Amino acid sequence: MLNEFRNFLELPYAELEDLNLMAKDQRKNRVAADVIQEERLKYLTDEPRIKAVTVVFSDLEGRLHMLDYDKKFFVKGWDNLTFDGSSIRGFTAQRESDLRLGIDWSAFYWVPADIFGAGKVLVFGEVVDKNGGTYSADIRGVLKQFANEQYATNGYTLNAANEIEGFLFDGIDAERNFHETGSFEYVNTGGYYYSLPGDPLREFIDTAAEVQRAMGFENEKDHPEVAPSQFEINYTYGDVVTAADQIQLYKLICRQVATQMGMTASFLPKPVTGVNGSGMHTNVSITKNKKNLFWDPNGNEKVSKMAWQFVDRILTHGNDICLLLNASVNAYRRLDPHFEAPNQIKASATDRGSMVRIPIGNEKSARVEVRSVGPDANPYLVLYSVFKAGLHGETSKIKNLRQAERYLPDNVYTALEHFRGADFVTTMLGEDVKARYADLKQASADRCARLLGTIVKAPEVQFHHDVYNQLLWNKF
């Protein structure tokens, strides 16, 4: 059918940015959920050019799932969207498969038609159990509940900003084809901060940055990273749930833009040995009444006693939560000290090999940076475990805790042992969800060579939770 017969919503990028920043301000200012719901439903009802609402949610491992609902059906039935949870890895067993998707109306996005398709808007879903409560394996809902409790009880706003690195490889589906090709092909070999205007890496970065800007990310800077064909696109701080949502959107946008350009955006932590891997440095702070509680101009490294206590608890539980921050077999290749790997369970203002760094800051930007996070980790689990440990964890009696000679695991099996044996994780996630997560990671690990060796093995890519091919998994 000719396009002139399809009058679907296609907005200019500048208009998209205005709409998304408006929605972001409502979220930041905690406008009542029923007010936003009424406003969004009216918009959907009154805007005839919208054909579908894309509802997204994440599974336990952090893989993003998307469903398109016809707009007219959605407007009438948004409060009873059921789906089969047994088909989602880490969700319900077959005997108890029915789950419901609630709608987080505050997490509503107007999307570029050239990337997502004309006539669509996007909203984040919340997985609801049969009793109407937050489903225990929907960590987004768990994180949101925790953040709301901290605000209600202490007046705390939990803030985060993530620096997400990735690689751009030649060809579509380069990861899914790795078990046949055995290698990835760079599209640029320039290195840190270097790419010519118009080369494939620069065009990719420019396009992805434009999409993120249009979706209200409030970009800061973007550039090629240290390794060949590596990139990073930075954007501003947000409340903890918004920050995690933006990580999911960031990876979705990068993958879609790369695919449209005939390439693959990969968030494997170490897809190529011999060069720097990709990280997801996680910057966090806590504010109360708009005051940064991590700032103290007279404190050690100009951060507060509260911030240092937060750091000490993270260091105490570093091994407990390592599997949550480094969620794949491939992630343990990145924890290599030869490439500025943050594998030491230390805190430092300068040593980039430390798990936790205290960046230079001021009253506005003082923060704690957790560096030992892979870009393939579930962002909701990462931020939940960091804030839960930092606020509610224990503090070890280890002498000189911040500089002790302690290291993170260098393989997934050791990380699994720490995880399974950690009482703190049981308290944080509950026995059932903890066991489900561990079983998923064990299954993936058992399909890979037990020792990493010096080359990336096909199974660690093809059975990666972010990459895996349903057809391949079904052969086991």
The single-letter code of the amino acid at 423 is D
Whole-model pTM?
A: 0.96
**Residue 39: CB atoms within 10 Å:** 15
Give the rounded percent of residues in the chain with a pLDDT score beyond 90.
80
Count CB atoms within 10 A of the CB of residue 114: 13
Average pLDDT over residues 92-115: 86
Confidence of residue 192 (pLDDT cuts 50, 70, 90): low
pLDDT at position 86: 78
Q: Which of the residue ranges 169-173, 205-209, 336-340, 366-370 would you say has the lowest mean pLDDT?
A: 336-340
Residue 380: pLDDT band with limits 50, 70, 90:
very high
- Over residues 275-301, the pLDDT tens digits come to 889 999 999 999 999 999 999 999 999
Say if 3-135 and 156-473 have the same CATH topology: no
Asked if 278 and 166 count as a contact pair (C-beta separation under 8 A), the reply is yes
The domain limits of the chain are 3-135, 156-473
> For position 94, what pLDDT does the model report?
52
What integer best gives the mean pLDDT of the chain?
92
Q: pLDDT of 116-156, one tens digit each?
A: 999 999 999 999 988 888 999 999 999 999 999 999 999 99
pLDDT score for 238? 94
Q: Which CATH architecture has domain 156-473?
A: 2-Layer Sandwich (3.30)
Higher pLDDT, 246 or 6: 246
Looking at domain 3-135, which of 3.40.50.920, 3.10.20.70, 3.50.50.60, 3.40.190.10 is its CATH number?
3.10.20.70
pLDDT at residue 474 in the model: 77
The predicted structure's pLDDT at residue 1: 45
pLDDT confidence of residue 351: 84
